[in-house]
Amino acid sequence: MTLLPYAAVVLTLLAGLSLVIFTALTGVPTLSSRGVEAADVIALLKHAKLARSAVIIDLGSGWGALVVALARAFPEATIEGIEISLLPYLISRLRASGLPNVRLRWGNFHRSHLRGAHAIVCYLMPSVMPGVGDLLDRHLKWGTAVVSNTFLFRGRKASAVRRGSRRGLVSLYFWPARYWVVDEYE
């Protein structure tokens, strides 16, 4: 009797468990940007007029859908992805293996250096956006382009938006993009 089917079941269960654990730890499931959303991210980055050799970082690069789309759209740029969840990270490495301008790191983007970034992209969840905003405040140079898929940064003013997807807007900020609401005169 072969052990292969049992090994396959155990591996599948471990893979599923690892996805559940990382989603619970980060509060962000590993969903991929859809084609239309990736197209909106690309259009907004083009609107931001990045240098050809720009460094674009995807915070939470998941299965690699967005980094692969960006690498094809900006062949002279360097696309970096940081992903904490092991299985999506490994799959993204396979997907991006033929793309020389992609660099993928396994780890927590809150512990990464982002100072070299000319642009940041992300597709996360509303609950983590304030913490990500604080992270970008600490690391980014003034005026760095930030594009968020679906979820907005509160208290920040988007310079442009695209509405290709029914799931929500894709928005472009030039960091820190702060605005204040003044309710009354003191």
* Sites of contact with ligand SAM (CB under 6 A): 22, 26, 28, 30-33, 58, 60-62, 65-66, 82-85, 88, 108-110, 123-124, 149
Nearest CB to ligand SAM, comparing residues 30 and 101:
30
The minimum distance between CB 152 and ligand SAM, in angstroms, equals: 15
Neighbouring CB atoms inside 10 A of 55's CB total 17
CA neighbor of 78 nearest in space, from 62, 95, 60, 96: 96
Residues 6+ apart with CB under 8 A from 46: none
Burial letters for 12-23: b for 16+ Cβ neighbours within 10 Å, e otherwise?
Answer: eeeeeeebeebe
For residue 29, the minimal CB distance to ligand SAM (Å) is 6
Which residue's beta carbon is nearest to the bound ligand SAM? 60
Q: Cβ distance 81 to 67 under 8 Å?
A: yes
Q: Which is nearer to ligand SAM, 61 or 144 (CB)?
A: 61
* Minimum CB–partner distance for residue 162 and ligand SAM (Å): 14
